[in-house]
Structure 1
């Protein structure tokens, strides 16, 4: 387990050296939700959105088949639980790069700017990827924490791309 966390931290270190911060204005913007249908229980502060659900907050985009929001209407304290086949998350960094993820379930805790993803999770940052059973992403601190599933002997998998060769390749004539 320690090795899994170390590999995730190593990846974060490598990734943060090559990409910028999340758009600084994202978390100061309102969240907009669209869906095919919605049901809001004002007494319980719970909302349910179904079908083609999409939320945008600045450059943050999350899409899913189903969304349940707890603390609905409590400004900035909402907990949004998405499910899909898969549900998707993406955000643009200040330098224009994107972090993108997909999972069966995504939980967005707006009060602490945390995205928690579970079940068949894959995260792509630049050309590098991390996959596992559960991955959380702190939007402000830019910390990615990944876990495998020991019950299924599933480990976290990290794929780091090699350094790009900046020298032009020479064309070699086969006949020479």
Structure 2
């Protein structure tokens, strides 16, 4: 083989390896905590004391986390059940805004990319806030659905905060810091 063909094959191999590494990194779930236990027979990991979970652009903070790993849960085989007062989920959106969810319990199905928050549940983004007993968020479809509890006086509440156009215009017109070594 010629040198050019060999170089192209090596380049394609390196590109494929880098792509696989990036995909693995995006599927990787990192958990930090003060304490960890594992129930080997039931495949449940228990994390306690200032738990922080990172999955791509998503972050969960909780007092306690149970990680359920079973074949019937799908490809990634992980269901994360975070509890706290409150447990907090945050995700940086494609537009740069931050979506934040708070509740007594957050159930995050890693394979299905769904989030179910329950117990004084609240989800907010860009000045909009939804409060309900149970809120489901389909991360891939960016679909939020909220339900009231069985109590008669329970309701789903949405608060829309208007964006001040003057503030938006000021942000657009503000001088940007210069890049470089200008005096």
TM-score range, shorter chain: 0.7 to 0.9
Runs of 4+ in 1 over 4 A off after TM superposition: 72-75
Q: Deviations over 1:40-73 (max 9, x none)?
A: 1233211111110110011100010011111179
**Rounded Cα–Cα distance in structure 2 between residues aligned with 1:155 and 1:106:** 20
In structure 2, how many angstroms separate the alpha carbons of the residues matched to 1:92 and 1:26? Answer: 20
Answer yes or no: is 1:68 the counterpart of 2:37.
no
Count matched residues.
144
Change (3 A) 1:67 1:163: closer
Q: Unaligned regions of 5+ residues in structure 1, if any?
A: 1-24, 169-176
* Secondary structure at 1:43 match in 2: coil
Structure 1 residues 72 and 61, CA gap change in structure 2 (3 angstroms): farther
The two structures have a TM-score, normalised by structure 1, of 0.74
Counterpart position of 1:95: 95
Query: Gapped runs of 5+ residues in structure 2?
Result: 1-22, 170-183
Q: Are the equivalent residues in 2 in contact too, given 1:48–1:69 (CA < 8 A)?
A: yes
- Alignment partner of 1:28: what SS? helix
Distance 1:89 1:55, change over 3 A: same
Q: Pick the structure with greater CA Rg.
A: 2
Name 1:53's counterpart in structure 2.
51
TM-score, normalised to structure 2's length? 0.72
Higher helix share: 2
Name the CA distance, whole Å, in 2 between partners of 1:112 and 1:28. Answer: 14
Aligned equivalents of 2:82 and 2:123: distance in 1?
Answer: 16
**Coordinate RMSD, CA, aligned:** 2.4
Name the structure 2 match of 1:159.
159
Larger RCO of the pair (alpha carbons < 8 Å, separation 6+):
1
